[in-house]
Amino acid sequence: MNIPDIIIAVDGYSSTGKSTFAKMVAKEFAFLYLDSGAMYRGVALAAMEAGLVQEDARFDEPALQALLPTLDLHFRREDGTTKLFLGERCIEPDIRTLAVSNYASPVSALPFVRHFVDDKLHGFAADGRVIMDGRDIGTTVFPNAQVKIFMTAEPVERARRRYEELIAKGEKVTLEEVAKSLEERDYRDSHRSASPLRQADDAYELDNTHMSLHEELVWMLGLLQGKFGLLESPRLSW
């Protein structure tokens, strides 16, 4: 299907399946997938490794501000997907732990960190035909994105999905811990003053609590067909 070289913004709460959805759409329609949350996770990891986390998940802000320009955080396409690198080191596995998740949220509330990440994201997306997921892509990073999706799912379902993901990776966590972490992150992400999570006025809401991945893809196809007046219905790859 001939979709123009647009930017697709996918925002929503934690563990609503944004990245799974965005990766699937990227593969189906040959878009570059970029995970903006990975950048905040990368900054959090670097801050943790540099010993800049203080009590109550506070950061040594002057030291972090000095560290940022030295961080070579970038995405590379590998094995059909995009992975985050810090210099030559692939940090994908390191940034997906519960500890990094918990620090990524407070680090992302710091305005100077948001500027740093936004600049990088604009650079990565400069060539267009990008699908990017996060919390403020449709509202702040790319307010002119041609297609904006806002993903939601019921909290119990989100906690269950995240818990299973972490357990499959061998992390020792309880469902209660995961549910609590999600609740705290959602609260922080949507109540911070710098670019809080909210649905853009022109975003389409996708509640996937009871949807399969295939149903999500069919939903997206319908949206793109309607939006770009594409009459022909392409065969989906799955």
Distance CA 168, CA 227 (A): 38
Closest CA to 195 of 137, 145, 234: 137
Q: Between 92 and 225, whose beta carbon lies closer to ligand DC?
A: 92
Q: Does 189 bind ligand DC (CB under 6 A)?
A: yes
Stretch that binds ligand DC, among 22-30, 46-54, 130-138, 148-156 (CB under 6 A): 130-138
Beta carbons of 113 and 43 less than 8 angstroms apart: yes
Minimum separation from the CB atom of position 186 to ligand DC (A)? 9
Q: Does 36 bind ligand DC (CB under 6 A)?
A: yes
Q: Does 37 bind ligand DC (CB under 6 A)?
A: yes
Q: Based on the number of CB atoms within 10 Å of its own CB, is 135 exposed (0-12), middle (13-18) or buried (19 or more)?
A: buried
Binders of ligand DC: how many residues, by CB under 6 A?
14
What residues from 39 to 98 belong to the interface with ligand DC (CB under 6 A)? 40-41
Minimum separation from the CB atom of position 85 to ligand DC (A)? 16
Give phi and psi for 70, each to the nearest 5. -90, -5
Distance CA 43, CA 188 (A): 17
Longest dimension (CA), the chain: 57
Q: Does 14 bind ligand DC (CB under 6 A)?
A: yes
Q: Does 139 bind ligand DC (CB under 6 A)?
A: no
Q: Between 121 and 220, whose beta carbon lies closer to ligand DC?
A: 121
The token pair that represents 199 in the structure block: 């649905």
Residues forming contacts to ligand DC in the complex (CB under 6 A) are 14, 36-37, 40-41, 104-105, 108, 134-137, 185, 189
